[in-house]
Amino acid sequence: MYTSEENISDRASRNPSCSACKPLVDAATKDIFRNNAFRITGLPVDATIREITKHADKLMLMQELGQGASAHTGVVALKPPPTMDQIRDAIQKLKDPEKRLIDEFFWFWPEEFGQRNSEVGIQAVLRDGLDQAAQIWSSREDEPSNGGVAKHNLAILYHVCAVDWDSHAIHAGTDETRRTKITKYWQGSLKRWERLLSDDRFWDKVTSRVRQIDDARLTTGFVRRMRVSLPEALNKINLQLALAYAEAAKFEEARRHVDLVRNASYGVATLEATAERVLTPVKTRLKEHMRIARQRTEASPADGASAVRDLLAHATPLVAIFDIFFGEAANGAKELLDETATICVECLVSYQKKMEDNHAFVDLLQMTLPLADALELRQRIEKNIQIGKHNLAFAELEPIRAMCEAAAKAAEANPASGDKEAQRILSATSHILPKLSSSGLPQETIDRARDEAALALMHCAVVFGNNTEKWKPCIAILEQSLRLAVGPDAKDRVTRNLQTVRKNNTLYGDLTPIYSAPSLSRINGIGFALYGCTDQDPTTASHLATYYFVFLAIPIFPICRYRVVPTGKGYRFFGKAPLRTFDKWHLVISVGLIIWLVIALSSTNSTPSAGFYAPSPPVSVPAPSPSYDNERAEIESDRSAANALESQVEELGREIESERLSLDRTSQSALDQFNAKVDRYNALVGQAKAATAAFNQKVDRYNAKLRQ
């Protein structure tokens, strides 16, 4: 009594990983038809032992004579012809009854064993008339008596064509027309295998064939096991083809074969177990690469990155392969990939500690991440990636710090190069800071880098401005510094210096440098003098004055303007400024009046005058009375006091000027001390002016008394 199909299905679903017929499952590979002993030898499936021996001797002889190709004219003959080793293996296989039955099962049967010559379908195949054979068997497959054999032969015919064409397409590729035809072959084959699984008449015929072989090593129980294991065997053929396609990076073709298994009524129950069996060699190779990677890194941590690269080269393609076979469902393949990712992380951590190569550390971890499925493992990898990126970003910060420090030192050594050093900093930050923003660094770290660059720019601008008094470039640099600054302290310092520089630019921006003070000497009231006091700067006690040519103490021609600081006996000059519009009109009017006066005098001198010039008689001035001696002594005392004040003013002015050149305008305390000294200077100037005015009043009163 044979097992019913329902019971067979139940058994397979209860324990799909158990292969009832191991020889059948082992033989079921993508090369099952190329290794078929009857296809290799060209013998029919019902050949006797005597026929097999005789035919084997003939094949060996023809092979030795170099006529092997002409000897292989059997059903769907192999191209290229089989080798001597293949022939020997095939003959040896036919001597094993179980292996022979499996090869018979996967080759063309006559309707009755021992009457093959009357089988028109097989004769059509021998004449290479595959289409004719398909028509013959299609017309008979629904017959109640021998329809099972016709159905079996159609399944074999379509299966051979589908497997042969797919095996060729794995390496050579195929076009859409042939792909459509291959798909029809698969559909035709698998549909008939499904029917045969439930065809008891067909399996009775297989059992009868076992009895006909009549070998004690082959029992009818082997047939029952074959029937149970046939779905797994058929699945294995498709899954091996899927693996071959996937390893050739033809993932759509691989997925098509897995879908053929999923869509077959017998396929789902054994899919996972069969996939595990097919992928076992792949997993074994991966485990060996894992062992080698760990061993290499333990022996030499510096070799860790190279070991991980080699491991990833074998593991990365498997992600897509395992996904095709198993999808999103939990499976042993995902656990294996998690183990691979864990080893990669361990090797890379050892490598990074040894070599501090954060670039390779981050790149290889990012390549490892797709392998990981477990949430905790993915979080560990992502955390290490962030650590590596932070290390890389800190390395990017170092050039900014080094350049800022070098630029500040260069500006101190050569203040006139401060603007160039500032441009170097700006160029560096414009390239590095955008990278930092996308580096994953904490914002606090990025802000600190921006503040350091801003303060370095400010320092270069202040040094350059104090040395050259070219304030416009300093304004541009400080404005860029203010845009860089983030922290309130940095912003405040830059803002205060920017305000000072803008004020300096307003006061001194239009000044032209001078290399010597202009002449202020006059002879008999004719010469040069300064008049006016505009645009006063309390910080420096300076103002703008107009430089005139004077005649009889009358300002005639305005020449230019100077920013000056009164020093008591004279002035200290900052630089030359352009004339105002008022001064220009003054000059035009003065020139016009002189021209008019010359013309008028010329017309007057053309008529001789009748008058003459007589000098006035000398006036006698009485000598001062001794009663004025006390008043004169008081005047002299006041003169000495006024001169002493002027000397103090001049000395303090020189001190202020000396300190101005070296003043650290970035230090608020230094600025406060300097401004206090300026205030003392201004107060002293006021005292000197008051003393001079009092002295002049006393002299005027004394002279008036003398004249009286």
576 and 456 fall within a common domain? no
pLDDT score recorded for residue 64: 65
Q: What is the dihedral of CA 689, 693, 696, 697, to 10 degrees?
A: -170
DSSP code string of 49-74: HHHHHHHHHHHHHHHHTT-HHHH--S
Integer-rounded Cα Rg, in Å, for the chain is: 55
> For position 65, what pLDDT does the model report?
62
Whether 569 shows a pLDDT value over 50: the answer reads yes
Q: Please indicate, yes or no, whether residues 560 and 650 belong to a single structural domain of this protein.
A: no
User: What integer pLDDT is reported at residue 440 of this predicted model?
Assistant: 61
For the chain, percent of residues with pLDDT exceeding 70? 83
Residue 259 inside a domain? The answer is no
Mean pLDDT (the chain) is 81
Q: Which of 457, 482, 508 finishes a domain?
A: 508
Q: What is the pLDDT of residues 674-695, one digit of tens each?
A: 778 877 878 887 887 888 778 7
Q: 611 or 88: whose pLDDT is higher?
A: 88
pLDDT in tens, 483-527: 888 889 988 998 988 888 887 776 666 677 676 788 888 787 788
The answer to whether 609 touches 587, Cβ cutoff 8 Å, is: no
- Residue 570 binned pLDDT confidence (cut-offs 50, 70, 90): confident
Q: Judge if 369 and 397 occupy the same domain.
A: no
- Is there a domain that residue 617 lies in? no
Between 215 and 1, the higher pLDDT residue: 215
What is the per-residue pLDDT across 6-15, written as a single tens digit (0 to 9) for each? 344 444 444 4
What pLDDT is stored for residue 14 in this prediction?
44
Shared-domain flag, residues 206 and 57:
yes
pLDDT band at 200 (very low <50, low <70, confident <90, very high): very high
Average pLDDT score over residue span 374-381: 94
For 94-153, what is each residue's pLDDT tens digit? 999 999 999 999 999 988 887 766 677 877 877 767 888 889 899 998 888 778 999 999
Flag whether pLDDT at 27 surpasses 60: yes
Residue 389 CA to residue 396 CA, distance in Å, equals: 10
The answer to whether residues 485 and 527 belong to one domain is: no
Sign of CA dihedral 9, 10, 15, 18: negative
Indicate the number of domains in the chain: 5
pLDDT digits (tens, 9 = 90+) for 229-241: 999 999 999 999 9
Task: Find the DSSP H helices in 626-667.
Answer: 629-661
What pLDDT shows up at residue 527?
85
**How far apart are the C-alpha atoms of 179 and 471, rounded to whole Å?**
79
Does an H or E element contain 456, and which?
A: helix 443-468
Nearest Cα to Cα of residue 407 among 462, 473, 470, 448: 462
Q: Exposure string (b/e) for 382-406, b if CB count within 10 Å is 16 or more? A: eebbebbbbbbbeebbeebeebbee
Residue 437 pLDDT? 67
Greater confidence, 413 or 281?
281
Residues 22 and 156 in one domain: yes
Same domain membership, residue 398 and residue 359: no
Question: Do 83 and 152 lie in a common domain?
Answer: yes
**Which of these, 582, 484, 590, 457, lies nearest to 532 by C-alpha position?**
582
Residue 138 placed within a domain: yes
- Specify the amino acid at residue 146: N
Instruction: Give the pLDDT score at 104.
Output: 94
Go through the chain and tell me how many residues it has.
708
pLDDT for 506: 67
**Are both 328 and 434 inside the same structural domain?**
no
Q: Picking from 6-20, 408-422, 522-536, 583-597, which range would have the lowest pLDDT averaged per residue? A: 6-20
Question: Where is the domain boundary, 587, 603, 619?
Answer: 603
339/203 same-domain check: no
Q: Which pair of structure tokens corresponds to residue 205?
A: 């015929």
* Separation CA 261–CA 283 (nearest Å): 21
Cβ neighbourhood burial of 38 (10 Å; 0-12, 13-18, 19+):
buried
Structural domain boundaries enclosing 528 = 522-603
Q: Which residue has the higher pLDDT, 46 or 32?
A: 32
d(CA 509, CA 301): 63
Whether the CB-CB separation of 317 and 370 falls below 8 Å is answered with: no
CA atoms lying within 13 Å on the CB side of residue 17? 4
| Residue 122: how many other CB atoms lie within 10 Å | 23
For residue 383, tell me if it sits in a domain.
no
Of 527-541, 646-660, 687-701, the one with minimum mean pLDDT is: 646-660
For residue 164, the one-letter residue type is D
User: DSSP string spanning 130-168?
Assistant: HHHHHHHHHHHTT-TTTHHHHHHHHHHHHHHHHHHHHHH
514 occurs within a structural domain: no
Residue 263 lies in a domain: no
**Token output for 237:** 């053929």
pLDDT top residue among 255 and 7: 255
Domain end call among 508, 534, 564:
508
Assigned domain for 78 exists: yes
Q: Which residue has the higher pLDDT, 305 or 608?
A: 305
Q: Mean pLDDT over residues 71-81, rounded?
A: 67
Q: Which residues have a Cβ under 8 Å from the Cβ of 98 and sit 6 or more positions away?
A: 23, 217, 218, 222
Q: Is the pLDDT of residue 320 over 50?
A: yes
User: Does residue 652 share a domain with residue 599?
Assistant: no
Would you give the distance in Å from CA 683 to the centre of its chain? 64
Residue scoring higher pLDDT (291 or 433): 291
Tell me phi and psi for residue 470, to 5 degrees: -95, 100
Q: Which residue has the higher pLDDT, 110 or 591?
A: 110
Whether 130 is covered by a domain: the verdict is: yes
Query: Which of 18-27, 526-535, 541-550, 672-681 has the lowest average pLDDT?
Result: 672-681
pLDDT tens sequence across 160-198: 999 999 999 998 888 899 999 999 999 999 999 999 999
pLDDT at 612 (0 to 100): 32
Which of 509, 484, 501, 559 lies closest to 529 in space, CA to CA?
559
Query: pLDDT: is 458 or 9 the higher one?
Result: 458
Per-residue pLDDT at 669 exceeds 80: no
Q: What is the mean pLDDT of residues 261-278?
A: 87
Tokens, residue 221:
């129980």
Q: How confident is the model at residue 209 (pLDDT cuts 50, 70, 90)?
A: very high
Phi first, then psi, for residue 264 (nearest 5°) are -75, 140
Closest CA to 166 of 309, 33, 303: 33
Query: Can you give the pLDDT at residue 368?
Result: 95
Q: Is there a single domain that holds both residue 401 and residue 431? A: yes
